[in-house]
């Protein structure tokens, strides 16, 4: 017991020290050029709003030009410099062109937020390969294409910060989300590897792994049904987009490598998954209704 208490005290001391160091080394975001993919709605739009209030200059990328125009008009009273680019991130040429226009307009690119993503949920055997390919293309290949394009000017300057939006599902596997989970696990792996690969060149790689977030991607999943099925509980709650956006901007300030973001349950089950996958299997069977989860994932759980 004494060793346990010493371990807890040491862990708390390390956490306090790391927090103090982060606060002392906070990056001023005024004038920074921030590119955000999937900026037309949800987490991307909220992230753009918060970076604008920090005085950053914004490059907003989305397939929906009309959504970008509305957001640009909304941000105009803040006096923020905003460039909008309607582009498909899964095309490497599109991202290279977006970076070229960014450099032509602002002369630099400081931060890339890889936020664009698609959800695919339901039983794996019901997915068709075309939908699977689309989710992989957007969630992983698109992120790779955006990252490669952004790294060209960042490496030339010897500085830059890339923030990838992963998911807590990468740590806590659940039925009905297998392909989505796989893409987000790939994002985590890529981020961890690139952080070590590029650190000597002055490039910072971070990622955030939020739990459930109420966005268009999860709109088909009824919250009351999720509670009944055990997907939501007092210790597993659903986040609002602006909460995730706040965490992304905080990571931009502190340059912390990663953050699992959500309520206590996400941290608990992430820990038990690493400790014993069999234990998490048991907990899942005890706390959730498997068939109901599959129905909710299909969008039929109302």
Which H/E stretch holds residue 82? strand 82-86
Which is the catalytic residue, given 127, 141, 171, 180? 180
Tell me, what's the pLDDT at 302? Answer: 43
Ramachandran quadrant class, 101 (left: phi over 0; alpha: psi -120 to 50; beta: rest): alpha
Name the CATH code of domain 26-219+237-263 (choices 3.40.50.2300, 3.40.1000.10, 3.40.50.720, 3.40.30.10).
3.40.50.720
| Residues 127-162 pLDDT 10s | 999 999 999 999 999 999 999 999 999 999 999 999
CB neighbourhood size of 44 (10 A): 29
> Measured between alpha carbons, how far is 43 from 56 in angstroms, rounded to an integer?
17
Map out the domains of the chain as residue ranges.
Answer: 26-219+237-263
In whole angstroms, what is the distance from residue 220 CA to residue 27 CA? 38
The answer on pLDDT for 300 being more than 90 is no
Active site residue 207: no
Burial 76-107 (b: 16+ CB within 10 A, else e): eeeebebbbbbbbbbeeebbbebbeebeeebe
Q: Is 267 helix (H, G, I), strand (E, B) or coil?
A: helix
pLDDT at residue 301 is higher than 50: no
DSSP state of 77: G
User: Considering only 225-229, 256-260, 295-299, which range has the smallest mean pLDDT?
Assistant: 295-299
Helix axes 178-198, 142-157, angle to 10 degrees: 10
Adjacent-strand bridge partners of 83: 59
Q: What is the pLDDT of residues 161-183, one digit of tens each?
A: 999 999 998 998 888 999 999 99
pTM over 0.85: yes
User: What are the tokens at 18?
Assistant: 């790391």
Residue 17 neighbours by CB distance under 10 Å: 10
pLDDT, tens only, 46-91: 999 999 999 999 999 999 999 999 999 999 999 999 999 999 999 9
């Amino acid at each position: 017991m004494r060793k346990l208490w010493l371990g807890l005290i040491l862990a708390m001391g390390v956490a306090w020290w790391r927090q103090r160091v982060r606060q002392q080394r906070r990056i001023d975001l005024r004038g920074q050029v921030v590119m955000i993919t999937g900026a037309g709605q949800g987490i991307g739009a909220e992230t753009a709003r918060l970076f604008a209030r920090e005085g950053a200059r914004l490059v907003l990328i989305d397939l929906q030009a009309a959504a970008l125009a509305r957001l640009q008009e909304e941000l105009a009273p803040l006096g923020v410099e905003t460039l909008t680019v309607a582009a498909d991130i899964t095309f490497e040429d599109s991202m290279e062109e977006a970076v070229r226009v960014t450099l032509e307009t602002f002369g630099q690119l400081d931060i890339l937020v890889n936020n664009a993503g698609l959800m695919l949920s339901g039983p794996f055997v019901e997915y068709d390969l075309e939908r699977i390919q689309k989710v992989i293309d957007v969630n992983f290949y698109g992120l790779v294409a955006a990252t490669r394009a952004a790294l060209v000017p960042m490496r030339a300057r010897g500085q830059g910060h890339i923030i990838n939006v992963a998911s807590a599902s990468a740590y806590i596997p659940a039925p009905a989300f297998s392909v989505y989970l796989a893409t987000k696990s790939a994002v985590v792996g890529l981020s961890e590897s690139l952080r070590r690969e590029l650190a000597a060149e002055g490039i910072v790689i971070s990622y955030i792994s939020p739990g459930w977030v109420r966005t268009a991607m999860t709109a088909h999943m009824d919250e009351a049904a999720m509670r009944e099925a055990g997907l939501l509980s007092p210790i597993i709650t659903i986040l609002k987009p602006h909460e995730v956006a706040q965490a992304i901007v905080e990571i931009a300030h502190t340059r912390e490598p990663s953050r699992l973001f959500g309520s206590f349950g996400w941290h608990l089950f992430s820990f038990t998954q690493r400790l014993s996958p069999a234990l998490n299997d048991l907990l899942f069977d005890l706390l959730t209704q498997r068939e109901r989860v599959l129905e909710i994932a299909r969008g039929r759980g109302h």
